[in-house]
Amino acid sequence: MKKFLNKKKKACLPACFNERSTSGRHCYARSQRCSDFGQAKRYRRGFSLIEVLVAMFVLLVGILGTMVLFTGSIKNSIDSRDHIIAAALAQEGIELVRNMRYNDAFNGLDFANGTRLPAISYDNCVADYTFSSIPSSDCVSSSSKTLNLNSSGFYIMGAGTPTKFQRKIKLAYNAAGDQLTVTSTVLWGSYDFSAPCDTAHQCASTDDVLTNQDSPIYVGP
């Protein structure tokens, strides 16, 4: 192939500018063919190995960068979703205790004589929307704090599909016994309840203060 190209190249070197060799028209045609041959030879030139490797490297860096950004976006979305669910479950714990207190207050019962909440402070209570009361037996440290998802899509303490969320409810009475501080804490990661409760430790918490004067608002007909 190389010999053929060299032979072709020599054929394209006529003495076109020698006035005694040929006519101007024939010289122009020969020159044009030589020019076309030179361009075709340049166009057939391929990429070097270094150029291919550099192009592959640039492409790989772009793909990896996109994958890292995409993966980080998905992780942040999942963390945000879990935080929102945990905050809602923590608030639900407060509402459960408030509802039980309202039922006692509606019947004219104070904390000391109430039937739906323990009369002393506890730190490890559990409850869900199916509970009508929180007995002291549901406030032991050994009880499971894992919330399960039932067939209706509600988080419960009973049978269901285990989730990553755990909830405990703390009931703390003041010295006079007429004020109750309720703290509801929810975890959704690998930490336990002894760790500080913040986003870094995948924990959400909220609290409320109830008194003997708390009672539901009755709206008449």
pLDDT, tens only, 119-160: 899 999 999 999 999 999 999 888 889 999 999 999 999 889
Of 175, 157, 174, nearest in space to 166 by CA: 157
Write down the mean pLDDT value for the chain: 79
16-25 confidence digits (pLDDT tens): 444 444 444 4
Query: Cα 132 to chain center, whole Å?
Result: 35
Q: Which residue has the higher pLDDT, 80 or 37?
A: 80
Torsions phi, psi for 148 (to 5 deg): -110, 150
Q: How confident is the model at residue 14 (pLDDT cuts 50, 70, 90)?
A: very low
Is 80 exceeded by the pLDDT of residue 192? Answer: yes
Is 90 exceeded by the pLDDT of residue 183? Answer: yes
Domain extents in the chain: 66-211
The model's pTM is 0.66
Cβ neighbourhood burial of 49 (10 Å; 0-12, 13-18, 19+): exposed
Is 50 exceeded by the pLDDT of residue 112? Answer: yes
Q: Which residue has the higher pLDDT, 70 or 110?
A: 110
pLDDT value of residue 2: 47
Q: How confident is the model at residue 204 (pLDDT cuts 50, 70, 90)?
A: very high
Q: Cα(211)–Cα(110) distance, rounded to whole angstroms?
A: 9
Using CA atoms, how far residue 33 sits from 3, 13, 23, 41, 192, in Å, is: 19, 10, 16, 12, 84
Q: Which residue has the higher pLDDT, 2 or 56?
A: 56
Maximum mean pLDDT: which of 36-40, 58-62, 160-164: 160-164
- E strand map for the chain: 122-125, 146-149, 155-156, 161-173, 179-187, 203-211
Is 60 exceeded by the pLDDT of residue 35? Answer: no
Q: Cα(52)–Cα(48) distance, rounded to whole angstroms?
A: 6
Task: Please compute the mean of the pLDDT values over residues 29-58 and round it to a whole number.
Answer: 65
